[in-house]
Amino acid sequence: MQEISGASGQPLSGKTVAVVHAAWHSCGSYQVNVSQIAAYRALGARVLSIAMMDDIVGGPINAGRWEAYVAATGGIGADRRFYSGAPLSALAGRLLVDGWWRLIHGDQASWLIELARRAPLPDGIESEAIDLIHTNHYFTLPFVETLKRGRRIPVLLETQDIQARQYVLRNKGGFFIPPYATYDDMLAIELDWMRRADINVHLNEEEHRDFQQLLPEARHDLIYPAVPETPRAGGREIIIVASDNYANYLSLRWFLTEVVPLAAGARVGIYGNIDSGVKNRDPELYEAHRALFRGRVEDIGAVYANAGCVLLPTVEGHGLSIKAVEALSCGAPLVATPLAFRGMRVDPTALDNLALAQDAAQFAAFWRAAQDRADRGETPPAESATRRLYEEAFSPQAYARTLARALETLPA
């Protein structure tokens, strides 16, 4: 667990906070959950992690997807961990009608809600006296209602983007049958559940503005996510770090097809499980660039520590990019597209160690220049403009301070 110093006192001393989140790992959302837990502990709370599987789950925690999740999340930092998800027995009820039938038409919003309705309370949770629930994504709220068991417990919902946008993007790469679920259909479900939270917390400027307009009667706060600090960059390798989601696939496809042919032999190592995403969606593209992929590594910090430059070839996606914030944290020179800084209250042109590319040719030129610096043996300085931005806006200390202010006005 990452310790947070500098938080203003411990206003939650003696309180128990349940952080409810999707059972995801090796992605930006998992890092957000780690930082939430660390922040609440810094504020004095005892923290429970409650992981929810976003699929039907069968078998014990030490089997199947649960086994992989538990093995990859040993550093989550909670005082006690719980797990839940819709069991296989749910198929014997109305799940096929209420959820799966809608899913095959692309309605992922309804499917996740129906799964959460059927997620049971985990064994042992009844012994916990919970004072606050910090839940992530609207689709965990049916489970939160079960967790409250009719008690008055304040609920803070962290939205992490408009999920209906993600579903529309994800549906482009899936196989569904008409009539197709629309963005408006899925957004309506999302907003209906969000009304039940006491505070809706948003992670970026765009999301905060949009939800204020879509749900004006609710309370909304803007709190940038805390992203765990990465080691300072001090190497010479040019890197890309990306997890397997459809937006990252589209961005990397642009990089491989449009930028790489113009880069005149500049080198890059692509880290993260995006390799499997490219291989599954476009085997020929993967084979053509197999040598660039390094796959998922256990210690991503070591990758950043060895970086001389980080490339952010972002051309798709919504919400604030966690990988972009990680890149800010390491302090290395960056080559990026403007979309990499979506949702941030920042002028990227003011960062003197950032080269902002407007098209593929410019991106390739900046990449070649970074390669020349690496070949000359130049390594990033200990301090940089991007590192300072991280400390001021996206560090765990900044998150804990802003979160504490939001909680001061939370209804009892």
- For the segment 71-119, what is each residue's pLDDT rounded down to a tens digit? 999 999 999 999 999 988 888 888 888 888 889 999 999 999 999 999 9
- For the segment 197-237, what is each residue's pLDDT rounded down to a tens digit? 999 999 888 899 999 999 999 999 999 988 878 999 999 99
Cα separation, 222 vs 169, whole angstroms = 24
Tokens 């009844």 appear where?
126
Q: Do the domains 16-227+395-407 and 237-392 sit in the same CATH topology, yes or no?
A: yes
Summary mean pLDDT of the chain: 91
Query: Percent of the chain scored above 70 by pLDDT?
Result: 96
Give the DSSP per-residue string, 172-203: TTS---SSPPPHHHHHHHHHHHHTTSSEEEES
Query: H-type helices in 172-318, by residue range?
Result: 183-194, 205-214, 246-254, 274-281, 283-288, 300-305
Q: Report how far Cα 253 is from the mean position of its chain's Cα atoms.
A: 21
- For the segment 126-167, what is each residue's pLDDT rounded down to a tens digit? 999 999 999 999 999 999 999 999 999 999 999 988 999 889
CATH topology of domain 16-227+395-407: Rossmann fold (3.40.50)
How do the domains of the chain map onto residue ranges? 16-227+395-407, 237-392
- For the segment 327-386, what is each residue's pLDDT rounded down to a tens digit? 999 999 999 999 999 988 889 999 999 999 999 999 999 999 999 999 999 999 888 999
**What's the pLDDT score for residue 46?**
97
- For the segment 264-299, what is each residue's pLDDT rounded down to a tens digit? 989 999 999 999 999 999 999 999 999 999 999 989
Q: Report residue 410's pLDDT band, with 50, 70 and 90 as the boundaries.
A: confident
Sign of CA dihedral 358, 364, 367, 373: negative
- Which of 3.40.50.2000, 3.40.50.720, 3.40.50.11540, 3.90.1580.10 is the CATH number of 237-392? 3.40.50.2000
Query: H-type helices in 95-201, by residue range?
Result: 95, 101-103, 108-117, 141-148, 163-171, 183-194
With contact defined as beta carbons under 8 Å apart, do 116 and 28 qualify?
Answer: no
Q: Which residues pair with 157 in a beta bridge?
A: 135, 200
Ranges assigned E (strand) in 333-410: 334-336, 354-356
**Is the pTM above the cut of 0.85?**
no
